Amino acid sequence: MSTNARPPYSPARLSSSRISPWPLSEDSASSQENEPTVRTVAIFGAGRVGTALARVLVAAQYDVRVVGSGPASAIELIVSVLAPGAVALDAAAAVDGADIVILAVPLHKIDSVEFALLRGKVVVDVMNYWEPIDGSLPDFAGVQATSPVVSEMLAGARVVKAFNHIGYHDIDTDGREVGHPERRALAVAGDNEEAVALVLEMVHRVGFDAVYAGGLAQSGLLEAGGPVFGVRLDRAGLEHHVNQDVPASR
């Protein structure tokens, strides 16, 4: 599986933003261009990954809604303590009007998500397949990339892979301002150009250099066993892997 093709568009236009919590470079574009495309984000998953993403998104001035495995009342206290500024909502209410939906649930619990709610939505797949935790999942066993399978399950959704190759503890601490020498890069993979552009923007706004990593078929590069999984890379380092590496077989 080759990832050598150049991306059809570049995240370079996302180099600045008024709402980023990070200081921006002086050569910003016009204020109109810097208006956020995405305002509201729904996160399925109130665990460590979901709440870490909620915190950085709230800091970037997004309207963040968090969905748990049960009624919203069951996670209200968790959300208020771990992600102040986010709100706990039931799934239908959280998805209604959301620009992006993030799936940050354990992969073996994906069936707990009501797929019909996500039809027509941009869905960020943050899930990884961990057989010791998830058990043997026939739909995902032996595949080079899990997101194409997720995309098939979520018929009508525009699935994008992102935020899965960084540890939840680093989501909070590794964000940096534009141009910082330690600014880390995160990859975004997907087949729908508009959906990918929205997620590239989101990655940038929470303090990371956003790198397009090809379509969902190439997203195995970002998963466990891949060369960038859990590795702290700058833009040049991540782009090198995107251009050179082939996802490892499972």
The count of other CB atoms within 10 Å of the CB of residue 9 is 12
Contact 42, 123 (CB under 8 A): no
Residue 226 CA, distance from chain mean position: 17
E-assigned strands of 84-234? 87-88, 100-103, 122-125, 158-162, 185-190, 209-212
CA distance 23 to 3: 33
The per-residue pLDDT for 34 is 54
Is pLDDT at 99 greater than 90 in this prediction? yes
pTM of the model: 0.84
Write out pLDDT tens, residues 158-204. 999 999 999 999 999 999 999 899 999 999 999 999 999 999 999 99
Distance from the first to the final alpha carbon of the chain: 13
Is pLDDT at 247 greater than 70 in this prediction? no
The per-residue pLDDT for 35 is 56
HEC profile of 76-107: HHHHHHHCECEEECCHHHHHCCCCEEEECCCH
Write out pLDDT tens, residues 209-245. 999 999 999 999 999 888 999 999 999 999 999 988 6
Domain boundaries in the chain? 36-244
CATH superfamily of 36-244: NAD(P)-binding Rossmann-like Domain (3.40.50.720)
Mean pLDDT calculated for residue range 94-114:
95
Among the listed residues 233, 211, 229, 242, the one whose alpha carbon sits nearest the alpha carbon of residue 1: 242
